[in-house]
Structure 1
Amino acid sequence: MQKAKSGSAEGTGGDSPSQLINARIKELGDWRGETLARVRALIKQADPEVVEEWKWRGIPVWSHAGIICTGETYKNVVKLTFAKGASLEDPSRLFNSSLEGNTRRAIDLHESDEIDEKALMTLIRAAAALNTSSAAKRSAGKR
Structure 2
Amino acid sequence: MSEDWRSETIDTVRSLIMAAEPAVVEEAKWVKPSNPAGVPTFSCDGLICTAETYQDKVKLTFARGASLDDPSSLFNASLGAGTRRAIDLREGDLLDEAAFVELVREAVARNRS
Task: Tell me the TM-score normalised to structure 1 length.
Answer: 0.74
Higher relative helix content: 1
Deviations 1:4-23 (A, max 9, x none): xxxxxxxxxxxxxxxxxxxx
Is the counterpart of residue 111 in structure 1 residue 91 in structure 2?
yes
Aligned to 2:13: 39
Q: Which runs of 4+ in 1 moved over 3 A?
A: none
Q: Tell me, which stretches of 5 or more residues in structure 1 are unaligned?
A: 1-26, 134-143
Of residues 72, 75, 82, the one that matches 1:95 is 75
Greater relative contact order structure (CA < 8 Å, 6+ sep): 2
Higher relative strand content: 2
> How many positions carry a matched residue from both structures?
107
Measure how far apart 1:28 and its partner are. Answer: 2.4
Identity value in percent: 59
Q: Tell me, which stretches of 5 or more residues in structure 2 are unaligned?
A: 32-37
Q: Highest CA radius of gyration, 1 or 2?
A: 1
Measure how far apart 1:54 and its partner are. Answer: 1.1
Task: Tell me the TM-score normalised to structure 2 length.
Answer: 0.93
Deviations 1:25-83 (A, max 9, x none): xx321000100000000000001110111111111000001100000000000000000
Aligned to 1:73: 53
Structure 2 CA distance, aligned partners of 1:102 and 1:75? 26
Q: Provide the aligned C-alpha RMSD in A.
A: 0.6
